[in-house]
């Protein structure tokens, strides 16, 4: 029950933020020259002024910007995301088609980053200033500094072109038409390289944070007490240190769920994945305001949900942080 009240309060508190974000994006896009009809004309490779006028009328672009924003917010209240001018379908449908690829990619990358970040962070902290620490920290720095698109392209060159182990792009193999388990495996094999590309960067961050917080917790009094009780080292690390060192990691997940959506634009382009990141990018290029606002809305919801889960995890990891607040 307390969780439900908390969820309700968090959601209510985030509504003003959401509306502000939407208005901000709307206003920002007004500064870009040209509208969706100009973008359509560019795509068509020519057209006349009468057609342009008719199209503007059709998409409701002939009224003032404020009236357009008012119309949009009024529709949003009725949970209608509007109609995409570029895709010719309701925005909700367009986003629903792209959401699975993005969520798959995000979950896989975050899990990879979190899991290996944690393990490598612990190993580095246990062997601080010895060779495992040096090796892991150097690798972490390399992954952190490497541009995502470059790593993606190099991964394609090595694993797809040279070794021919993994597909170079796409979400699944459509030339053969697989079903069931074989299709799942096929999709998984298509996701390996994008997940690595997106995940390794975040892994580098996590292992730094994990290493740092492990080192900090290891110096605290309760660790000394536990050791003094004669507890063996593994139990000390797992039961006492890890649990406390995890808090900053969990905080980061909440923060990075949002940035990951941004980072996935590049990965989705390099690997031709049909995800939200690329959809957002194309909506900007095509000035498809409705779709763009819809994506902002959905990703804001996503971030709110992730942060809510993070709050719950907090309470679980450290009972001193009460959910009641």
Partner 1 sequence: MDMTRRAALLTSAAIASSVAFPMRSLFAQETPRKGGVFTVHYGAEQRQLNPSLQASTGVYIIGGKIQEQLVDLDAAGNPVGVLATSWEAAPDGKTITFKLRDGVKWHDGKPFTSADVQFTAMEMWKKILNYGTTLQLFLTAVDTPDPLTAVFRYERPMPLGLLLRALPDLGYVSPRHLYEGKGDIRQNPVNLAPVGTGPFKFVTYERGQHVIADRNPDYWRPNAPHLDRIVWRVVTDRAAAAAQMEAGQIHYSPFSGLTISDSARLGKDPRFIVSTKGNEGNARTNTVEFNFRRKELADIRVRRAIAHALDIPFFIENFLGDFAKRGTGPVPSVSTDFYPADNGPQYPFDKKLAAKLLDEAGFKAGAGGTRFSLRLLPAPWGEDITLFATFIQQSLADVGIKVEVVRTDGGGFLKQVYDDHAFDLATGWHQYRNDPAVSTTVWYRSGQPKGAPWTNQWDWTDPTMDKIIDDAATEVDVAKRKALYGDFVRRANTEIPIWTPIEQIFLTAISAKARNHSNTPRWGSSSWHDLWLAE
Q: Which residues in this chain contact partner 1 in the complex, by CB under 8 A?
A: 32-36, 38-53, 58, 85-88, 94, 97-98, 153, 156-157, 160-161, 164, 167-171, 174-175, 269-272, 274-275, 278-279, 282, 285-287
Judging by beta carbons within 10 Å of its beta carbon (0-12, 13-18, 19+), is residue 102 exposed, middle or buried? buried
What is the rounded CA–CA span in Å between residue 266 and residue 288?
Answer: 20
Nearer to partner 1, 149 or 308 (CB): 149
Least Å from the CB of residue 206 to partner 1? 27
Least Å from the CB of residue 198 to partner 1? 15
Nearer to partner 1, 7 or 52 (CB): 52
Question: Which of 129, 213, 127 is closest to 223 using CA atoms?
Answer: 213
Least Å from the CB of residue 174 to partner 1? 5
Maximum separation of any 2 CA atoms in the chain, in Å: 85
How far lies 228's CA from each of 215, 222, 232, 233, in Å?
18, 9, 10, 11
Least Å from the CB of residue 112 to partner 1? 21
Contact 40, 55 (CB under 8 A): yes
Nearer to partner 1, 14 or 51 (CB): 51
Nearer to partner 1, 251 or 269 (CB): 269
Nearer to partner 1, 158 or 220 (CB): 158
Least Å from the CB of residue 313 to partner 1? 33
Question: Which of 59, 103, 62 is closest to 288 using CA atoms?
Answer: 59
Q: Is the dihedral of CA 148, 153, 159, 162 positive or negative?
A: negative
Helix or strand run (H / E) with residue 117 = helix 91-126
Nearer to partner 1, 43 or 184 (CB): 43
Least Å from the CB of residue 144 to partner 1? 23
């Amino acid at each position: 029950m307390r969780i439900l009240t908390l969820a309700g309060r968090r959601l209510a508190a985030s509504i003003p933020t959401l509306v502000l974000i939407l208005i901000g994006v709307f206003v920002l896009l007004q500064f870009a020259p040209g509208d969706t009809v100009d973008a359509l004309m560019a795509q068509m490779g020519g057209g006349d002024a009468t057609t342009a006028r008719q199209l503007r009328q059709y998409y409701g672009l002939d009224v003032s910007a404020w009236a357009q924003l008012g119309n949009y917010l009024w529709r949003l209240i009725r949970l209608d995301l509007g109609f995409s001018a570029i895709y010719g379908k309701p925005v909700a449908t367009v986003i629903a088609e792209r959401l699975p690829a993005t969520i798959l990619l995000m979950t896989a990358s975050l899990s990879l980053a979190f899991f290996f970040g944690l393990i490598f962070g612990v190993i580095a902290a246990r062997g601080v200033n010895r060779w495992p620490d040096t090796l892991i920290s150097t690798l972490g720095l390399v992954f952190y500094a490497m541009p995502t698109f470059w790593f993606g392209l190099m991964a394609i060159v090595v694993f797809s072109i040279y070794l021919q182990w993994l597909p170079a792009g796409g979400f699944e193999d459509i030339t053969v038409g697989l079903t069931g388990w074989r299709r799942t495996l096929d999709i998984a094999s298509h996701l390996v390289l994008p997940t690595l590309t997106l995940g390794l960067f975040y892994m580098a961050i996590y292992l730094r944070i994990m290493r740092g917080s492990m080192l900090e917790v290891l110096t605290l009094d309760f660790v000394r007490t536990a050791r003094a009780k004669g507890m063996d080292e593994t139990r000390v690390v797992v039961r006492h240190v890890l649990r406390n060192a995890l808090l900053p990691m969990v905080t980061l997940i909440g923060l990075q769920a949002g940035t990951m959506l941004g980072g996935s634009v590049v990965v989705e382009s390099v690997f031709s994945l049909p995800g939200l990141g690329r959809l957002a990018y194309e909506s900007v290029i095509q000035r498809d305001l409705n779709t763009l606002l819809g994506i902002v809305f959905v990703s804001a919801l996503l971030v709110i949900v992730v942060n809510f889960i993070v709050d719950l995890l907090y309470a679980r990891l450290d009972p001193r942080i009460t959910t009641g607040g």
